[in-house]
Amino acid sequence: MRVPLEDAGVEEHGSVVLPRLAADLVRSMAPGPVSLVHNENEGQVQVSGGGSSFSLNCHQAGEYPELPSDTGVGVAIPAERFIACADRVVRAASRDETRPVLTGVLVRIGPDGLTMAATDSYRLSVRTVPLDSPPPELMEAILPARAVAEASRFAAQAKEGDVEIALTESQATIRCAGVRMTTRLIDGQFPDYRQLIPAEFEQEVRLERAEFLAVLTRIGVLAQRTSPLRLSFEQGQLTVATVSDQVGEGRESMPVPYSGEAMEIGFNADFLREGVDGLDGDEVRLGLISPLRPGLLRGEGDDYRYLLMPIRLPG
């Protein structure tokens, strides 16, 4: 990542490699300007500001790996649309490094707009947003989830403008508000998310989003990693319950327009709450097939879909 500091006053050009500790020291200083002084070929940098002064060991710039070259012109995406995709999708990426493909986010840019998808094999998050000037041909790559999250963070700081993405066979460059980040792409075949999402559901339950999220949050306090939330649907009512051997048990009911046969299905408490929290609008549409088939969360539109695998309930 390269970040320009346009307000910096450079008295003499130069380069040096600072320890990461320098960022913590500067962050702890009193408000005001920070001064960096380094004499060429010396092994220390003087860092001072806010009445504090430090002498830090450093490395010469020649010892630092060569930075990747610029990849040219990319596709411009309004910052708010990039953030809308990234923030809802990146949380579903896996953290298991033994399956590198699942630690990434699939980014597709084409005539249909920008689509991001991520899955950890227990849940799948997909978001599509339109583009004013989409490319005529599809661009597709798997970016590390951490890189996508970081790009979303500095896009949010910029607040407006475009995020530009340029892809090559091995790397992606993301630019926004003068910041330029280059990341390696993840090799491999991302799961075909379009085949994973069922085309039809036996039931589509419409829930008031704020109330449903509040119930999930309260009952989820008791849920442990091995304790799923039990969702029991019956005529006109949903009961959310959990049992924890260490803590106890809890349940809460809410009215819902459900008219099918009684059904009980279990979900991971954190995954379900994150899915509902990421939806837009006042309504949640929950598509259900059976207790052993995944459920699909959608908001008022179909631009964001969150597929969640169930947990087999005891008994």
In this prediction, the residues of the chain whose per-residue pLDDT falls under 50 are none
pLDDT at 225: 66
Q: Which residues pair with 47 in a beta bridge?
A: 36, 54
Helices then strands, each counted (H, E), the chain: 6, 21
Quote the pLDDT of residue 222: 86
What residue type is 4 in one-letter code?
A: P
- In the chain, the amino acid numbered 173 is T
CB distance 252 to 222 below 8 Å: no
145-173 tens-digit pLDDT: 999 999 999 899 877 789 999 998 899 99
Residue pair 91/123 in contact (Cβ under 8 Å)? The answer is no
Where do the structural domains in the chain lie, given as residue ranges?
16-63, 75-192, 197-308
Domain covering 197-308: architecture:
Roll (3.10)
Would you state the pLDDT for residue 161? 87
Q: What does the pLDDT read at residue 248?
A: 87
Give the Cα separation of 232 and 222 in Å (integer): 17
pTM assigned to the model: 0.87
b/e string for 107-124 if b means 16 or more Cβ within 10 A?
A: bbbbeebbbbbbbbebbb
- State residue 245's pLDDT score: 78
Note the pLDDT of residue 96: 92
Q: Can you give the pLDDT at residue 293?
A: 95
List of residues 6+ apart from 189 with CB closer than 8 A: 101
Do the first three CATH levels of 75-192 and 197-308 match, i.e. the same topology? yes
Looking at the structure, give the CATH architecture of the domain made up of residues 75-192: Roll (3.10)
